[in-house]
């Protein structure tokens, strides 16, 4: 028993390691080849069944995908998204029992411009990914990150949900029937089997030319300038994530996809959860790591791979020959402390080796998170959504909040003294009352004065963590045109609204 | 006492970046008196094959957390991990499941 002067002389017993010829826990016949969740040993066949079943179960449990719906698969080439692609192929194949019924398309984004790869390497990587995509026989779109600089500013608008009315119906079956009926009325020739033949008749060339403008070295340089202006790797990764989302959203909207499937695995989501908290994105945790993400309204992002650990995925890909392409990214070979995301990843992985329940505990916690506020009605203005990440603004600094304290200390530590108000609704801010939005800032004559108000003005439209990302940039006007244009537009609308309100008060 | 052992090593998931991009290696471990085990193999790989950044592959005695090891297509946890004794013509695969290779 635990006594004060008892000593353990290092005679602690080792946990008994499994013997070499352990039997599968499911069929109890064949030799096990893999250990999942630290205790369950599976044989090859049982593992395959388990893996395929989990995908179907995930889609079936969260009844979000309607038959005949167009779904865009975001395939980066990495193991998780390649695995997702192979599961979709498997599920849609003719001889699968209870086969899935939706219409897939694929998008692949070439991010080599941001991570500084040479054109030669990028071409090679894209060619490899393309050969994988071609073998799936689904229409695919290869998009370059440089195109993110030329997006229209409408991509930042939150669309109204097309399926909102459907989901308030009494049951899933009724919703599906309604969906089928509306679709049949709208596009009688684009439904289910007709949709298949329509898609297969599209030549790959046509689909590609739809979006891929040839990228010029100027575009690549502009992109590199953008990323070079960001000081920390953390902010770079955050910015990359934002641009990627916008590109996928734009493709989905222009090509008519209403759902997007991302290949985030359980391990990846656990890391994302913890690093998002560190980045200040706590308010949107439920959307960032949940199964479905409906912040963009008309396009819903789903994560069907969120139940698979990265070990299971890697093993399945190896055993059943799922092709995947490794493309080095921004943080390849980076040190452990290079960015918040990297540090979190190494922390979780190290903890996982000693405590195998780490990732699943974090995952289960994330399942219990829900957004506190009721869903926005479409009438409420989009002013209270962040400009870049479209989650609700969480920067209403209340009197005694920690956020308010950081704002005050920031104002005090600025050499210039308090400038135009940092956020819209700061009640009782010290110093002069907040100037009008189009006023004080633009009257300054010095160039530096011009830049400072631009940063401050953007801040009022951003959530806390997007503000931190922008703060890490040396110059705000390097941001892509569509973001700056949309910011201008929003500010004008806010001004007009304020004028109307003030006018009606008189 | 142990004869030289021929092994087939594979690196995937980005781990090959540390080995000059070469994914497959056929190696022959030299003669030695005790049988080769995984722990010694890692030391040998670090000394002879690893081209850069050893801390991204090996951590202390074992592989870095996040690198999956398969011996003859079976999880090495079932084989005894570091204590497994290598046989001739064994196939050892190292797959990195980490984000950044």
* Domain range B5-96, CATH class: alpha beta
Give yes or no for a contact between A120 and A233, defined as CB atoms under 8 angstroms apart. Answer: no
Of residues A40 and A274, more confidence is placed in A274
Structural tokens at position A265: 């695995």
d(CA A87, CA A85): 5
Instruction: Please report how many Cα atoms fall inside a 13 Å half-sphere around the Cα of residue B25, on the Cβ side.
Output: 21
Smallest Cα–Cα separation from A341: which of B46, B100, B70, B19?
B100
Picking from B17, B67, B75, B86 by the largest number of A CB atoms within 10 A of its own CB, the best residue to mutate is B75
CB contact under 8 A, A332 and B74: no
- With 60 as the cut, is the pLDDT of residue A416 above it? no
Give the largest CA-CA distance in chain B.
42
d(CA B101, CA A275): 19
Q: Is B15 on the interface with A (CB under 8 A)?
A: no
For residue A383, what pLDDT band results from cuts at 50, 70 and 90? low
pLDDT of amino acid A275: 92
CB contact under 8 A, A17 and B81: yes
- With 80 as the cut, is the pLDDT of residue A210 above it? no
pLDDT of amino acid A169: 40
B99 chain-A contacts, CB cut-off 8 A: 268, 271, 329, 331, 341-342, 345
- With 90 as the cut, is the pLDDT of residue A298 above it? no
Could you give the C-alpha distances from A268 to A262, A263, A312, in angstroms and in order? 12, 9, 13
Could you give the C-alpha distances from A489 to A115, A122, A387, A485, in angstroms and in order? 31, 36, 11, 6
- Ordered structural domains, chain A, with CATH: 63-159+169-202+211-368 (3.40.50.620)
pLDDT of amino acid A1: 57
d(CA A431, CA A223): 39
pLDDT of amino acid B93: 93
> Average of pLDDT values for B11-35?
88
How many other C-beta atoms can be found within 10 angstroms of the C-beta atom of residue A402? Answer: 9
Q: What residues contact A153, with CB distance under 8 A and at least 6 apart? A: A481, A482, A483, A485, A486, A489
Picking from A349, A354, A358, A359 by the largest number of B CB atoms within 10 A of its own CB, the best residue to mutate is A349
* Three-point CA angle B11, B17, B20, nearest 5°: 95
Structural tokens at position A441: 């800032």
> Average of pLDDT values for A19-44?
80
Instruction: DSSP for A419-441, please give it.
Output: -S-SSTT-TT-SSSPPPPTTSHH
d(CA A160, CA A46): 43
> Average of pLDDT values for A482-490?
85
Stretch (H or E) spanning A250: helix A233-255
Burial class, A156, CB count within 10 angstroms (exposed 0-12 / middle 13-18 / buried 19+): buried
- With 90 as the cut, is the pLDDT of residue A108 above it? yes
- With 80 as the cut, is the pLDDT of residue A37 above it? no
Picking from A314, A316, A343 by the largest number of B CB atoms within 10 A of its own CB, the best residue to mutate is A314
Q: Please tell me which residue of chain A has the smallest CA distance to B21.
A: A326
Give yes or no for a contact between B92 and B41, defined as CB atoms under 8 angstroms apart. Answer: yes
CB contact under 8 A, A79 and B13: yes
Structural tokens at position A244: 């990627």
> Average of pLDDT values for A63-82?
88
Q: What residues contact B70, with CB distance under 8 A and at least 6 apart? A: A315, A318, B76, B92, B93, B95
Give yes or no for a contact between A259 and A248, defined as CB atoms under 8 angstroms apart. Answer: no
Round the average pLDDT of chain A to a whole number and report it.
Answer: 76
For residue A189, what pLDDT band results from cuts at 50, 70 and 90? very low
pLDDT of amino acid A423: 42
Q: Is B26 on the interface with A (CB under 8 A)?
A: no
Domain locations in chain B as residue ranges:
5-96
Smallest Cα–Cα separation from A68: which of A248, A298, A202, A259?
A259
């Amino acid at each position: 028993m635990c006594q004060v002067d008892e000593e353990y002389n290092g005679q602690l017993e080792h946990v008994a390691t499994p013997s070499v010829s352990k039997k599968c826990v499911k069929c109890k016949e064949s030799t096990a080849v893999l250990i999942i969740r630290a205790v369950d040993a599976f044989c090859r066949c049982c593992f395959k069944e388990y893996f395929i079943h989990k995908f179907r179960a995930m889609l079936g449990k969260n009844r979000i995908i309607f038959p005949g719906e167009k779904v865009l698969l975001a395939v980066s080439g990495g193991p998780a998204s390649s695995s997702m692609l192979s599961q979709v192929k498997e599920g849609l194949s003719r001889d699968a029992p209870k086969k899935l019924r939706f219409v897939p398309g694929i998008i692949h984004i070439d991010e080599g411009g941001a991570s500084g790869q040479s054109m030669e390497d990028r071409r090679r990587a894209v060619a490899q990914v393309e050969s994988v995509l071609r073998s799936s026989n689904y229409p695919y779109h290869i998009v370059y990150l440089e195109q993110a600089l030329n997006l229209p500013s409408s991509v930042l608008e939150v669309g109204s949900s097309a399926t909102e009315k459907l989901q308030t119906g009494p049951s899933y079956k009724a919703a599906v029937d309604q969906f089928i009926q509306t679709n049949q009325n709208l596009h009688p020739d684009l439904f289910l089997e007709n949709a298949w033949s329509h898609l297969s008749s599209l030549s790959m060339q046509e689909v590609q030319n739809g979006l891929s403008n040839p990228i010029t070295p100027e575009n690549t340089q502009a992109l590199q300038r953008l990323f070079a202006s960001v000081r920390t790797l953390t902010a770079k990764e955050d910015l990359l994530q934002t641009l990627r989302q916008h590109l996928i959203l734009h493709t989905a909207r222009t090509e008519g996809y209403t759902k997007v499937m991302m290949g985030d695995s359980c391990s990846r989501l656990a890391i994302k959860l913890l690093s998002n908290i560190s980045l200040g994105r706590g308010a949107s945790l439920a959307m960032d790591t949940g199964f479905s993400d409906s912040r963009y309204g008309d396009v819903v992002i789903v994560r069907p791979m969120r139940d698979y650990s990265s070990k299971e995925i890697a093993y399945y890909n190896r055993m059943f020959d799922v092709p995947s392409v490794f493309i080095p990214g921004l943080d390849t070979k980076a040190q452990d402390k290079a960015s918040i995301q990297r540090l979190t990843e190494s922390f979780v992985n190290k903890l996982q080796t000693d405590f195998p329940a780490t990732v699943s505990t974090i995952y289960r916690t994330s399942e219990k998170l829900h957004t506190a506020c009721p869903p926005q009605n479409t009438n409420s203005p989009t002013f209270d959504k962040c400009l870049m990440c479209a989650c609700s603004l969480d920067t209403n600094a209340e009197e005694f909040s920690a956020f308010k304290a950081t704002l005050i200390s920031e104002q005090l530590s600025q050499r210039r003294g308090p400038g135009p108000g940092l956020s819209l609704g700061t009640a009782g801010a010290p110093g002069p009352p907040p100037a009008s939005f189009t006023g004080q800032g633009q009257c300054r004559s010095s160039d530096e004065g011009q830049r400072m108000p631009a940063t401050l003005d953007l801040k009022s439209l951003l959530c806390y963590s997007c503000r931190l990302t922008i703060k890490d940039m040396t110059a705000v006007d390097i941001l892509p045109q569509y973001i700056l244009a949309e910011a201008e537009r929003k500010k004008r609308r806010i001004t007009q609204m304020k004028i109307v309100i003030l006018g009606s008060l008189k | 006492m142990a004869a030289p052992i021929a092994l087939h090593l594979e690196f995937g998931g980005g781990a090959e970046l540390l080995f000059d991009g070469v994914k497959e290696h056929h190696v022959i471990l030299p003669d030695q008196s005790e049988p080769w085990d995984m722990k010694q193999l890692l030391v040998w790989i670090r000394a002879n094959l690893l081209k850069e950044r050893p801390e991204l592959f090996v951590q202390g005695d074992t592989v870095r957390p996040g690198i999956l090891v398969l011996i003859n297509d079976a999880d090495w946890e079932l084989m005894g991990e570091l204590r497994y004794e290598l046989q001739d013509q064994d196939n050892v695969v190292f797959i990195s499941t980490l984000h950044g290779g």
